[in-house]
Amino acid sequence: MTATVLDKIKAYKLEEVAADKAAKPLESVEAEARTASPVRPFADALQKASRSGYGLIAEIKKASPSKGLIREDFNPAELAKAYEDGGATCLSVLTDTPSFQGGKDFLVAARAAVSLPVLRKDFMYDTYQVAEARALGADCILIIMASVSDAQAQELESAALDWGMDALIEVHDGDELERATLLKSPLIGINNRNLKTFETSLDTTRTLSKYVPADRMLVSESGLNSPEDLTEMARYGARCFLIGESLMRNDNVEMATRTLLAHPLTAAGM
């Protein structure tokens, strides 16, 4: 069977984590995590923003496996400030280097520049990475159900909660959503991009949204390019969004963010 992009990422990520552990023992990472800047409430911020408008997780993303280089003029601190000034609720920062040209230092720089909560966007397999996320200052981690077993997902989530962080549980089909609802996190991210083929369709949110439990917060991710896209997804119950590429490609990130969020769908408009 041909290895998918996700399979290839998992293979090098496990090697990367093993090398990180050898270079810096868990005890050292945990010591840094204990002295890191206090956790900023991630899920609570989204909940509050979504009551009257949209909760936007704005992504700092230099490149991707499917699209290559997305933004050449790349300064994480400046981009974070532009997102904050544009009305973003939270940030997502890519820390994976081989596939996304991200970096751990990007997260540190972005978070230091703003008051927004920050998600460490990476492929998480080991609780070492969770402690490392907190040491870097992250307030939330990503758990991709397509890439982990139920036991791994529970272990990662438990570690995040122990550090006081939130976890965004990402799914892209019905089986993954069913597994995600067994976890404690209120944040369910429906990724409109199929992580095996990298094709994107908003039908993924349209289809899966009806199965998201009422006590969970739905975050629609990927393939969102316009206010009309957000309005359409809001009709299916998504009032929180993770958006990166369409904003990263804009010359004026602050204005693009402000424009995207300007006219949220209200109950009267549904």
Which candidate, 118, 177, 117, places its Cα nearest to that of 153?
A: 177
pTM recorded for the entire structure: 0.96
Cα separation, 29 vs 60, whole angstroms:
24
Statement: residue 115 has pLDDT above 90: yes
Predicted pLDDT of residue 268: 57
pLDDT for the residue numbered 267: 63
Average pLDDT over residues 20-49: 98
Lowest mean pLDDT among 61-70, 142-151, 166-175, 238-247: 61-70
Each domain of the chain, given as residue ranges in start order, spans 5-261
- Average pLDDT for the chain: 95
The DSSP bridge partners found for residue 118 are: 91
Average pLDDT over residues 60-72: 91
First and final C-alpha spacing in the chain: 45
> How far apart (Å, rounded) are the C-alpha atoms in residues 170 and 161?
17
Provide mean pLDDT across the span 38-45.
98
Per-residue model confidence as pLDDT tens digits over 133-172: 999 999 999 999 999 999 999 999 999 999 999 999 999 9
Q: Residue 184: its pLDDT value, please? A: 97
pLDDT at residue 112, rounded to an integer:
98
Mean pLDDT of the region 232-244:
97
Helix (H, G, I), strand (E, B) or coil at 47: helix
Residues designated as active site: 59, 61, 121, 170, 191, 221-222
Which pLDDT does position 5 carry in this prediction?
83
Task: Indicate the helix (H) or strand (E) that contains 148.
Answer: none
Write out the H or E segment, with its range, that includes residue 56.
Answer: strand 55-60
Asked if 161 and 127 touch (Cβ cutoff 8 Å), the reply is no
Q: Class for domain 5-261, per CATH?
A: alpha beta
Which tokens is 140 given? 């939330």
Alpha helices in the chain (DSSP H): 5-23, 26-34, 42-52, 76-86, 104-113, 127-136, 150-162, 174-180, 203-208, 227-234, 245-248, 253-261
